[in-house]
């Protein structure tokens, strides 16, 4: 197993990528993805969504792999947040495990990674194959983008977003 590596904590102005390596809901819920991007933009971050429309299962697999590679290869990206979990991430594991060039890219340019549910497979892959430590946390759609009331101090979303940003933006250990 490779030596553990950590990405740098985020600072205002950093760019966060949204990827969808499992459930492909970007076309179904574009307003929610846009709200999630707006929430993070309002907190001082740039957001870029990596998403190509799928046409069949093979296209879907290739698109998801391409989006992962693009996000990790882009030196302007500091963090990757998945849009949601799902049930199909395991389709990608054989290709991800075999992609030694991607492993080296991740090791050379580590990023904060956040996701949950089926994305546990991505966390496993990243740690086992590259040593990258990741964050099991909220997705862009179900948590970050689901409320219109982010500024209400009593909403669960406010707590969720603030806790996430504290975890990934603090230079101090949690």
In a domain, 139, yes or no: yes
In a domain, 174, yes or no: no
> How many domains does the chain divide into?
1
Locate 49 and state its tokens. 């969504």
Taking the C-alpha atoms of residue 97 and residue 100, their distance in angstroms, rounded to an integer, is: 7
- Predicted structure pTM score: 0.93
Per-residue pLDDT of the chain (174 residues; tens, 9 = 90+): 899 999 999 999 999 999 999 988 888 899 999 999 999 999 999 999 999 887 777 778 899 999 999 999 999 999 999 999 989 999 999 999 999 999 999 999 999 999 999 999 999 999 999 999 999 999 999 889 876 555 666 666 888 888 999 999 999 876
Provide the sign of the torsion angle of the four alpha carbons 151, 162, 14, 96, taken in this order.
negative
List the domain range (segments joined by +) for residue 69. Answer: 15-169
What CATH number corresponds to the domain at position 37? Answer: 3.40.50.10740
């Amino acid at each position: 197993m490779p030596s553990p590596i950590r990405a740098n904590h985020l600072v205002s102005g950093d760019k966060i990528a949204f990827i969808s390596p499992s459930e492909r809901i970007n076309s179904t819920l574009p307003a929610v993805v846009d709200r999630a991007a707006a929430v993070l933009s309002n907190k001082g971050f740039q957001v870029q969504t990596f998403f190509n429309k799928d046409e069949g299962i093979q296209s879907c697999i290739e698109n998801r792999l391409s989006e992962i590679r693009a996000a990790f290869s882009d030196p302007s990206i500091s963090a990757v947040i998945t849009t949601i979990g799902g049930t199909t991430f395991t389709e990608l594991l054989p290709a991800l495990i075999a992609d030694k060039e991607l492993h080296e890219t991740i090791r050379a340019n580590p990023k904060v990674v956040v996701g949950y549910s089926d994305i546990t497979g991505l966390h496993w892959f990243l740690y086992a194959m590259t040593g990258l430590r990741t964050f099991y946390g909220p997705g862009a759609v179900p948590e970050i983008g689901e409320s219109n009331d982010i500024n209400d101090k009593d909403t669960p979303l406010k707590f969720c977003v603030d806790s996430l940003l504290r975890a990934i933006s603090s230079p101090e250990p949690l």
